[in-house]
Structure 1
Amino acid sequence: MDRTTRVAIDVGGTFTDVVKLIPATGEFRFEKVPTTPEAPAAGVLHAFDRAEADMAEVAMFNHGTTLGLNSLLTRSGARTAIIATRGFRDVFLLGRTDRRVMYDITYRKPSAFLERYDTFEVTERAYFDGTIATPLDEQDAHRVADEINRRGFESVAIALLHSYANPRHEQRLREILLERCPEIEVTVSHELSREYREYERTSTAVLDAYIKPIVRRYLRHLDDSLTDRGFAGRFLVSRSGGGAMTAAAAREQPVNLILSGPAGGVVGAAGFSRLIGRPNLITIDMGGTSLDASLVLDSQPVLHQGAEFEGLPINTPSLYIHTIGSGGGSLVYLDEGGALQVGPRSAGAVPGPVAYRRGGTQPTFTDAAVTVGYLGADTPLGGTLALDAAGARSALEPIAQQLDLDAQQLARGVLRIANTKIVGAVRAITVELGHDPKDFALLSFGGAGGLVAVDVARELGIPEVIVPPGQGAFSALGMLMADVQHDLARTSVQALSELDESTVDHSYATMEREADARLADEGFPPDRQIFQRSLDVRYTGQEHSVNVAYPEDADDPFAVVEKDFATLHERQYGHVMDEPIEITTLRVRATGIVDKPALPELRERAGAGPTARGRRPVHGPDGAVTDYALWAREDLLAGDVVPGPAVVSEHTATTVLHEGDQLRVGRYGELVIALAREGEELP
C-alpha cells in the first residue's frame, strides 16, 4: 500500500477542522465538522470521513486537541495527590506571594485543584548540587503509597525539592507507587523540568498529573480506533511549544498539549510568513469559542519559558499566545448592571448559535454577524450548514428592546464590543511588549477571523490584512508544518566569567545524547535531527533570565553570549546595566525534521476579471446600510483585485472588507487586503 496522504485535525470548542493533503498532486481539502465534546474521538473519526481520507493511505496524522485544557477549565481532571520532601508539603498550595491584580479588593486566587490533605511528605533530601543529604526512607515511602492507594487517588505528582539535580529518589518513589498501586498514573517532576524553582516545577507536575488519565485514555482509544480502521502511519500531536510530539510521548507528558490547537496556527503562520516574504506578523485565530493572538518575528514564532494557566506556572517552553473568550459562539447578554456583554461564555458546539438551528436560544456573535449581513443563508457554513437569518434576528430582539435599539443596531454594537476586546488582546502582545502594531501585517484565520480582521487592523493602524488559504482550518494546516521537538534543560547557576567551555560542552553533549536516543526511537535518523543550544542569562541577583543562543562555533562563545545578552536585555526591558552576568540554565531543543507540505501556486487569469455572484445589504461600521458585493473565493485567481465593500465566502470561513479597502490575490491564494485610511483612496 502506497501511504502518502497526510491528514491534520484540530479539535476546537465548537468545530473540528480537518485538512487532507495528497503530496503527489499537491491537492488540499479543507473541511469542518461539529465538535463532539461528549465523545471527542468520534468527532475526529467523523472528520476523517468528511475529508474522505482512506486510513490505509494516510502516512502521517497530525492532531491538535483542547481536551487537556478543557479538563483544567472545567476542573474535571483526575483526583490527584502530591508527594513532596518532608517539610515542603505546602509548596504548591502556598505558591508565590505576588498579586496579579494589585488594586482589586474583590480579587481571589483561582480555586486549587486539590486540598492540603491531598499532599503527602516523605523523608529524603538532596542538595542543589545533587549530593544526597538524607537517603529516601523506603518504609516511609511504602506507607505513603499504601495511603494513596487506600484513599482512591487516580494520579500522583511526585515533586521532590532538588530532584532536578539528582532524580534518583523520584525514580525510586515511582517504582514503589507502581508496585503498591499499579493502576495509578504517576508524574515525576524531573522528567518535565530539570530546573530549579520548586514551585514552578511542582505546579507543572500537578497540572500534568491532573489531566494525564483523561488524555491517556483519549489518545489510546483514538490510536486503537485508527488502527482498527487500517491506519499504520505516524501519529503526531501538536504541542504548546510549537512543534509536535509522538502520540506515545504525548501520553507520558500531556501538560505539553495544553495549547496544542492554537500552537498549530502559529507554526503555520511562521511557515507562511517565510513563503510570502512577510517576516513580521500579528496573528489572530478566531474560532467558535475563543480568540488566540500571537506574534511572528523574523518568520519565527515567539517562544517563552513559563506559560501559565489561571496563575499556575507551567515550566515548559510554550509559544507566546494570548487567549480571550471571544469567538463565533460567544454569548450576548446584559450583565447585572444592564451593560451589554459579549462572551466569555460560549454556546459551544452544543447547542451553538441560534442561526445554526440546533436548539440554541441565546444570541451569539455569529447571530449578530448574520443580522448585520456579514453572513447569509446563501453561503452555508462548511458547505452544509444553512443559517437561519430570521432566527438570529429574533434572538437579538429581546435584548435590543431593553436597550431601546433595533436588532441591527444591537448586532452592530455586539461586533464593536467584540472588536474592542480583540484589539485589547493584540495590544497585550504588541504595545505592552514594546512593539508597534503598525510595523506588522495582520494574519487572520479561524472560522470567524475574517469577519473582524479589517476592523481590528484599522483600529490599531495596521496597514495590511492577510488571509491565508484554507483560513477556517489554518491551524490544522499549520500542524502539517510542525517538526517533532524535544526540549531539555539543566539548571547550572554560575558566573559567566567562571564558565569552562569544555564543561559546558560536556553538559550539552549529555543532553544531546539523551535527545538523540528519543528521536531515534521515534524514527528519525541522524540526518533528520537538529540540535539548538541556548542558555538563560541574567544580571547577578536578578529573578528572571533572558534566553540567548549558544554560539558553539565561535572562538570565544562567552564573549558573544555577553554581547547578545546586552542586546536582548535592552530590547526586552529597555536598558542594560554594568553588573556581573551569570547563567542559570543550559537548554537544548532537539528537532526531528518532518517533510513539509508545498502549498500549490494559484494560476493567473488569462482573460477578463472575476465576476461577483451577487450583492447583499450590510449594516456597515459607519451605521449605514450598503450593498456589499458577494464573491466566492474559489472564483478568484492570482493577481485578481476585489474592491470593497465586499464579502468573500469560502468553504470554511468568510472575509469582509469595507468601502475603500482593496483585496489582491497572492500567488499562493492568500488574500492581501490593503486598508483605506481616512481621507485616502487606494489606487
Structure 2
Amino acid sequence: MDNQATRKLRIAVDIGGTFTDLAAFDESGKTLAFGKALSTYDDLVRGIADTMSEAGVDAGEGVLFLHGSTIVINNLLERTGARTALLITEGFRDIYEIGRINRPDAYNLHFKKHQPLVARADRFEIEERLLANGAVFKPLNEDQVRSVAKELKERRVEAVAVALLHSYRNAAHENRVKEILSEELPGVFVSVSSELSQEYREFERTSTVVANAYVGPRVQGYLGELESHLTDDGFKGRFFAVQSTGGLFPVSDARRMCVNMLESGPASGVIGVSAVAKHLDLKNAIAFDMGGTTAKAGLIRNGQPLTTSSAKIGAYGSDLPIQLPMIDIFEVGTGGGSIARVEAMNALRVGPRSAGSAPGPACYGRGGTEPTVTDANLVLGRLDPDHFLGGAMKLNHEAATEAIRQKIADPLGISIEGAAEGILQIAATTMSYAVKGVTTERGLDPGGFAMLVYGGAGPLHASAIARELSIGRVIIPYSPGHFSAYGMLFGDLRYDFVRSVFRTLDPTILGELEDAFLVLEEQGRSAVDNASAGELPVVLARSADMRYRGQEHAVTVDLPAELSFSRDADRIKAAFDAEHLQRYGTSAPREEAEIVSLRVTAYGRMLAPELKPRPLSDVPGDIVPSRVKPVHFGAAGWLQTPVHLRESLVPGAKLEGPALIEEHASTTVIWPGDGLVIDAFGNIDVTIGEI
C-alpha cells in the first residue's frame, strides 16, 4: 500500500492474547494492508501503535477505526476489574450469589460455586418494588438511595451496578437511581440493567450489569487513552468498537455498554468467515480460529452465523452468565503459546496456561523456559526459525529443543520428536472439542461442513483437527494470521432489541405481537440513524424465542421478512418445530407453542472490501518450491518436504502433500495424502486424505 495523501483508510485492529493484528482497507484505491506485532499487556495502546507502524498505516489517513479487544474478557477472568457495589431491590440482596443453584456435575466432589464479582458487604437493598407487568407496587425511596450513595463514597467504590426487579418492564426506578448516583458520586461508573438487557431472568440480568460495571472503569480508561492517541496522531474519522455479535457500535456506546465487547475479536473472525463462505457459495461452514492463547469455533448455518442470547464466563460449573446477544462461540484454552507439562502419573497436559507474549514460548528468546505448542512445531520443522513473520522475528530452535527435552522428553523417557508429537496430538484433540461444541452439541455432524481455519496458529493444525473430526474439506482464507482484524472490515453497524412478552401462539394475540415488533423496529431504525448520522441504509431482521407449553428454556427462531405474526402463525409454528427438532432431536407439532421474547436486529450496512474472483491459470503440476526441508509427520517420521511461498501460488495451482505453505503471519501444513488447490479468490482449498 503506497503512502499517498489521497488514501481513505478503514483501519481494523484486533488485540489478541499474543499478537495485535491490523487490517487496513483503502476505500479509494480498493487495496489492503496488514500488520502484526506482539501484544503489550502493560500498555495495549503501544501495541496498537507498533502494529500500525509495522503496516505503514498513518492514523491521519483513517476515515474509520474499528477495534476489538480482549480487555473485557481478561478483566473478568483475571478478576482485575474495579471495586464495584450492587444496588438491588429490597429482599433480593443474595440473588447474585445464590444464582440458579445448578450443579452441572452431580457427583463431582470438587465442585465449586461461582464467586460473585461483588462482595456481600458491597450489596445494598433499595426500598422499591415493581410488579411483573411494570406497575409500581412500592415507590422508590430516593432518600435511601442518597444515603447509600454517601456510604459508597466513603468506601471509595469505583463502579455501581443497579439491578431492580422487573426493570425490563419499567425502567423508571432504575433511571432515577442512576440520576441520583450520578449527582452524588461524580466520576463513578454507574450501570443499570435495563440499558443492557430487556429480558426477564433476574439472576442473569444482575450478573450482566455487575460484569458491565466491574469492567467499566478499566474499559473507559483504555478507550479514552486510545482515542486520545489516535487524535494526537491526526485521526479525524469515526471510532467504532466491535460487539460480541460481530456488529459495530460507536465508541460512545462502548464506554457505557462495555460488556458488549466481551468476544469482539472472535466474533469478527466469524463475520469474516461468513463473508468468505458467501463468495464460495457455502451455506454451512465451521469457523475455526487458533491464536496464541485459545482456540475458538463458530458456525455458519444457512448462510448466517449461529448466535445465542447468553454466554457464561469462567470455569465450567463456576461460571457467571452474561445475558446479551452474541455469536455462539465455543472456546478452549489451547493456542500456540499453551504450555505443556508432565503431571502426576506421567500425564502429559497442554494448556490452558499460556506463555502469552511476555515472555512467550521458549523459542521467542524473551526469557520463556516452558515448552509450548509453538516450540513443538518449530522442533518438528513445521515452523522455520528464519521465516517466522516473514523473517522479521527470529526463532530460537535450540531453546525450543532444550525446553521440550528438559520438561517433557526426559521426564517421560521418550525422544524429543516423540514429545513434540505428543504435545501437538493432545493440542489437536483438545481443539477439536471447540468444534464439537458448536456442531455435535447442537445436533450437527461436523463431517458435513467445510472448515475455514485462520489465526496465526490455525493453519499449522488444520489437517490434524480435521482428521480428528472426519472433516473432508479445509479452507485457509487470505491472510489467516490477520483474519479477525480483516473480518471487522465486513462488519455492519448493529443494534439488538428484545422484549419479553410471554404469550401463547394463538389468533387472539397475533396483532399485539406484530405491533410489538413494529415498535422494536422503529427503535432499531432510530438507533442506527443516530449512530451514523442517517448516512447508512437500515436493514431489519426479526426473530422470536419460542418454547412448548411447560418448558423452561426457549430456542430462537429466525423470522424472514415475508413472515408476519398477523398472517403466518402456522408457518411460524412449523419453523419453531423444525428448529427444536434440529437442536434437540425431537419436536411436538401438536403441542401449543409460547412466545417468550421478540427480537429485532437493526443493521446499518457499511462498505466492505470487494472480493473479486480471478481467472484460474493452467498451472503445470511440477510447481517449483522455494526450498525443501525435513519435516516430521507422526508415524511417517522425517520427510523431505517442499516449502512454497503463498504469494507464488496463483489461482488454479495444485499440490499434493506433504508440503508447507508459508506466508507472512502463518504457515499451512499439508499432510501426506492431502491435496490442495488455490481457488479463484486465493484461498487454499485442502482435501483431507484418509480420515
- Tell me which interval the TM-score lies in, with the shorter structure as reference length: over 0.9
SS at match of 1:214: helix
Q: CA deviation at 1:623?
A: 4.6
**Which of 577, 591, 599 is residue 579 of structure 1 equivalent to?**
591
**What does 1:201-212 correspond to in 2, within 5 Å?**
201-212=205-216
Q: Distance in 2 between matches of 1:139 and 1:337?
A: 62
Q: CA deviation at 1:255?
A: 0.7
Q: Distance in 1 between matches of 2:255 and 2:631?
A: 48
The farther-off stretch of 142-151 and 101-110 is 101-110
CA distance 1:142–1:223, shift in 2 (3 Å): same
Amino acid in structure 2 at the alignment position of 1:327:
G
Structure 2: unaligned runs, 5 residues or longer: none
Amino acid in structure 2 at the alignment position of 1:633:
R
Question: Contact 1:550–1:557 (CA<8 Å) still a contact in 2?
Answer: no
- What TM-score do the two structures reach when normalised by structure 2? 0.95
Deviations 1:492-536 (A, max 9, x none): 111111553432233223222322222122125376111112221
Q: How many residues align?
A: 678
Map of 1:643 onto structure 2: 656
Map of 1:395 onto structure 2: 403
**Which of 612, 616, 626 is residue 639 of structure 2 equivalent to?**
626
Map of 1:611 onto structure 2: 624
Q: Distance in 2 between matches of 1:552 and 1:484?
A: 19
Q: Distance in 2 between matches of 1:392 and 1:534?
A: 51
* 2:657 is the alignment partner of 1:657: no
Amino acid in structure 2 at the alignment position of 1:77:
G
Map of 1:351 onto structure 2: 359
Map of 1:563 onto structure 2: 574
The farther-off stretch of 547-556 and 44-53 is 547-556
Identity of aligned residues (%): 38
Question: Contact 1:61–1:235 (CA<8 Å) still a contact in 2?
Answer: yes
Map of 1:455 onto structure 2: 464
SS at match of 1:444: strand
SS at match of 1:393: helix
Q: CA deviation at 1:471?
A: 0.5
**What does 1:271-350 correspond to in 2, within 5 Å?**
271-310=275-314, 311-350=319-358
Structure 1: unaligned runs, 5 residues or longer: 679-683
Deviations 1:591-636 (A, max 9, x none): 1111111135456447756310111111112251111111110111
Deviations 1:646-679 (A, max 9, x none): 011100100001112111101111000111116x
CA distance 1:462–1:119, shift in 2 (3 Å): same
The farther-off stretch of 64-73 and 102-111 is 102-111
| C-alpha RMSD of matched pairs (Å) | 1.6
**What does 1:195-594 correspond to in 2, within 5 Å?**
195-310=199-314, 311-398=319-406, 399-497=408-506, 499-523=508-532, 525=534, 528-550=537-559, 553-554=562-563, 556-577=567-588, 578-594=590-606
Map of 2:611 onto structure 1: 599
SS at match of 1:206: helix
Q: Distance in 1 between matches of 2:510 and 2:430?
A: 49
Q: Distance in 2 between matches of 1:333 and 1:487?
A: 44
**What does 1:159-170 correspond to in 2, within 5 Å?**
159-170=163-174
Question: Contact 1:486–1:590 (CA<8 Å) still a contact in 2?
Answer: yes
Question: Contact 2:249–2:531 (CA<8 Å) still a contact in 1?
Answer: no
Q: Distance in 2 between matches of 1:177 and 1:219?
A: 23
Map of 1:681 onto structure 2: none
**What does 1:75-86 correspond to in 2, within 5 Å?**
75-86=79-90
Deviations 1:350-374 (A, max 9, x none): 0011111111111111000000110
Question: Contact 2:7–2:29 (CA<8 Å) still a contact in 1?
Answer: no
Q: CA deviation at 1:257?
A: 0.6
Amino acid in structure 1 at the alignment position of 2:638:
V
Q: Distance in 1 between matches of 2:558 and 2:426?
A: 42
SS at match of 1:218: helix
Deviations 1:256-284 (A, max 9, x none): 11101100100000111001122211121
The farther-off stretch of 548-557 and 316-325 is 548-557
Amino acid in structure 2 at the alignment position of 1:619:
H
**Which of 18, 23, 27 is residue 23 of structure 1 equivalent to?**
27
Q: Distance in 2 between matches of 1:527 and 1:423?
A: 40
Deviations 1:560-599 (A, max 9, x none): 2212111111111122223222111111111111111113
Q: Distance in 2 between matches of 1:280 and 1:95?
A: 36
Deviations 1:536-562 (A, max 9, x none): 111122111122234564462322221
Q: Distance in 2 between matches of 1:553 and 1:632?
A: 48
Question: Contact 1:31–1:651 (CA<8 Å) still a contact in 2?
Answer: no
